[in-house]
Structure 1
Amino acid sequence: MSDREGLGASSSDDDLSLPKATVAKMITELLPKDVVCAKETRDLVIECCVEFIHLISSEANDICEKESKKTIAPEHIISALKALGFDQFTSEVEDVLKDHKQQQKDREKKVSKFEQSGKTEEELLAEQEKLFAASRAKFQPSNAPQ
């Protein structure tokens, strides 16, 4: 009997995994060209990653509960990494978080430009069609100089 069975884990716990093709691609990119990775090794890497995610999530949840919060924030993940002795990963995680926040701001700017136009989607589509029609008319062979 495994630890999971002993803890009464549901069968949905067994369904949690990472995409095998993605993990295999990452492993292949990291290994020298003359080294291959056995299927069992790839599966073990996936299990380790899932277990790591469980560990970090559980610790972050504990930190979150101690702060009387109901949502795990990125800061809880960083605190969990530190609490579990993975300090060496925190600066990279903070960099990724900063990049993610910037990407979100960039997406919001794009949405705001649409909203700032003051036009409906239908009006913008109609304008686009007029521009396409004008462009087609300009470059049609019948209008070409002879």
Structure 2
Amino acid sequence: MSDREGGIGSVPEDDLSLPKATVAKMITELLPNDMSCTKETRDLVIECCVEFIHLISSEANEICEQESKKTIAPEHIINALKRLGFDTFQNEVEDVLKDHKQQQKDKEKKVSKFEQSGKTEEELLAEQEALFAASAARMQQQQTQGAPGA
């Protein structure tokens, strides 16, 4: 029994899929306006995508093992794409990786700003609640002033 058939420690094949609504939306966006896609075609595209992901991850896992690593790194995925003849995807994958790393840095900076504020989470929450209350009061005052007969 293969891992994909539901062996010990595996995921049943039925659980390997992509969100149908998301795939349908992507297909719709890529097709010309005068064309549509049947449910069967969408399901086949999903199957092909899942198989592609499985192929790439298996190859990346093999590369990882050859390097005596325990965790698949982005470089393993890029090397797997090359090995399998999908070199044309390399630049796009590297661009996405670069964007992801930048987002992680930006996220860390936000955490640092919180830490640099020198305030506790409770203090910041109290400030936020006070700002919301002041905003609500201003909005109510504007509505009262703008009401007919006021």
The alignment's TM-score, normalised by the length of structure 2, stands at 0.83
What is the CA distance between 1:124 and its match in structure 2? 1.0
Whole-Å separation in 2 of the counterparts to 1:131 and 1:26: 41
Residue by residue over 1:17-38, the C-alpha shift from the partner in whole angstroms, topping out at 9 and shown as x without a partner, is 0111110110000000111111
1:35 aligns with 2:35: yes
Whole-Å separation in 1 of the counterparts to 2:83 and 2:136: 63
Write the mapping of 1:82-97 to structure 2, written as runs, cut at 5 A: 82-97=82-97
Residue by residue over 1:82-119, the C-alpha shift from the partner in whole angstroms, topping out at 9 and shown as x without a partner, is 00000000000000000011111111111110011111
Whole-Å separation in 2 of the counterparts to 1:24 and 1:43: 9
Paired-residue identity, %: 80
Whole-Å separation in 2 of the counterparts to 1:46 and 1:39: 11
1:72 alignment counterpart: 72
What is the CA distance between 1:137 and its match in structure 2? 5.5
1:16 alignment counterpart: 16
Cα RMSD, aligned residues only: 2.3
2:102 alignment counterpart: 102
The alignment's TM-score, normalised by the length of structure 1, stands at 0.85
- Aligned length, in residue pairs: 140
User: Given residue 127 of structure 2, which amino acid in structure 1 is its aligned partner?
Assistant: E
Whole-Å separation in 2 of the counterparts to 1:33 and 1:139: 44
Whole-Å separation in 2 of the counterparts to 1:35 and 1:51: 26
Specify which structure has the bigger relative contact order, considering alpha-carbon pairs within 8 angstroms and separated by 6 or more residues: 1
User: Given residue 16 of structure 1, which amino acid in structure 2 is its aligned partner?
Assistant: L
Whole-Å separation in 2 of the counterparts to 1:138 and 1:38: 53
Change (3 A) 1:139 1:85: closer
The ranges of structure 1 where at least 4 consecutive aligned residues each deviate by more than 2 angstroms after the TM superposition are: 127-142
Secondary structure of 1:70's partner? coil
Structure 2: 5+ residue runs without aligned partners?
A: 146-150
